[in-house]
Amino acid sequence: MSLLAVQNLSVAYGDLFAVRDVSFAVEQGTVFVLLGANGAGKTSILRTISGLLRPRSGEVTGEGKSLVGLSPHEVARSGISHVPEGRRVFPNLTVEDNLTVSYIAERANMPAADALAAVYALFPRLAERRAQAGGTLSGGEQQMVAIGRAMMNFPKLLMLDEPSLGLSPVMAELVFERLAEIRKGGTTILLVEQNATCLEMATQGVILANGSVALSGDAHSLQDSEFVRRAYLGV
Ligand X SMILES: Nc1ncnc2c1ncn2[C@@H]1O[C@H](COP(=O)(O)OP(=O)(O)OP(=O)(O)O)[C@@H](O)[C@H]1O
Enumerate binding residues for ligand X (CB under 6 A).
13, 16, 18, 36, 38-44, 85, 194
Which residue number, 15 or 106, has a Cβ lying nearer to ligand X?
15
User: From CA 187, how far away is CA 107, in angstroms rounded?
Assistant: 14
How crowded is residue 126: how many other Cβ atoms within 10 Å of its Cβ? 23
**Smallest distance from ligand X to CB 139, Å:** 16
Least Å distance, CB 100 to Mg ion, is: 27
CB of 86 to ligand X, least distance (A): 9
Q: 16 contacts which partner out of Mg ion, ligand X, none, CB within 5 to 8 A by kind?
A: ligand X
Closer CB to ligand X, residue 41 or residue 148?
41
Q: Does 216 bind Mg ion (CB under 5 A)?
A: no
Q: Which is nearer to ligand X, 43 or 203 (CB)?
A: 43
Question: Least distance (Å) from ligand X to the CB of residue 43?
Answer: 3
Kindly give the residue spans of alpha helices, DSSP state H, lying in 123-159.
124-128, 139-151
Nearer to ligand X, 41 or 155 (CB): 41
CA dihedral 46, 47, 53, 55 (to 10 degrees): -10
Smallest gap, in angstroms, from Cβ of residue 121 to ligand X? 31
- Least Å distance, CB 86 to Mg ion, is 9
Q: For 115, phi and psi rounded to 5 degrees?
A: -65, -40
Q: Rank residues 108 and 199 by Cβ distance to ligand X and give the closer one.
A: 199
Q: Which does 13 bind (CB under 5 to 8 A by kind): ligand X, Mg ion, none?
A: ligand X
Which of 41, 79 has the CB closer to ligand X? 41
Residue 13's contacts (CB-CB under 8 Å, 6 or more residues apart) are none
Do residues 156 and 79 touch, judged by C-beta distance below 8 A? yes
Strand 204-209 relative to strand 65-66, pairing:
unpaired
Euclidean distance between CA atoms 233 and 235, whole angstroms: 6
234, 62 in Cβ contact below 8 A?
no
Mutual angle of helices 139-151 and 112-122, in 10-degree steps: 140
Residue 36 contact, options ligand X, Mg ion, none, Cβ 5-8 Å cut-off depending on partner type: ligand X
Site for Mg ion in 6-65 (CB under 5 A): 42-43
What is the spatial distance between Cα 13 and Cα 56, in angstroms, rounded to a whole number?
Answer: 9
| Residue 10 site contact among Mg ion, ligand X, none (CB < 5 to 8 Å, cut-off depends on kind) | none
The span from the CA of 216 to the CA of 208, in Å, is: 9
Q: Which residues bind Mg ion (CB under 5 A)?
A: 42-43, 85
